[in-house]
Structure 1
Amino acid sequence: MAYRSYIFRLGAIFILLLCLVTGTHAQLGIGGIPPSFKYPQTRSSISDIHDIYVPFSIDDLLSDDLLNEQDGNPPRIAILLPAGLSISNNGIWKTLPGGEKIWQIHISANNALAIALYYNKFYIPEGGKLYIYNAQHTQILGAFDHYTNPKGGKFVTEFVAGEEVILEYVASNEQSSSDKPCIEIEEIGYGYNHLEIREDNDNTENISGSCMVDINCEEGQEWQDEKKGVCKMIMKIGTGSYLCTGSGYRKKG
Structure 2
Amino acid sequence: MGAMRPVSETKWIRCQIGADVLVFAARPELRERHKSIVVLIHDAASSVEDLAPWFGQLEPEAELVLSVLPGHGNAPPLTARGWDVLVEAYAGSLRTFAQGRRVLVAGLGLGGLLALALNARGYAAVAFDPFFATAGRRPLEEALERAVQSGCSPDPDFLFETLGWREGAIEQNRSYGGLLDRLKAPALVVCGEASLTQAPSLMDEADHALAAAYPDLRVQVAAGCGHDVLSQAPDLCRDILLDELARA
- TM-score tier, shorter chain, comes to under 0.3
TM-score, scaled to structure 1: 0.27
Greater fraction of residues in helix: 2
Greater fraction of residues in strand: 1
Determine which structure has greater relative contact order: mean sequence separation of CA pairs < 8 Å that are 6+ residues apart, divided by chain length.
Answer: 1
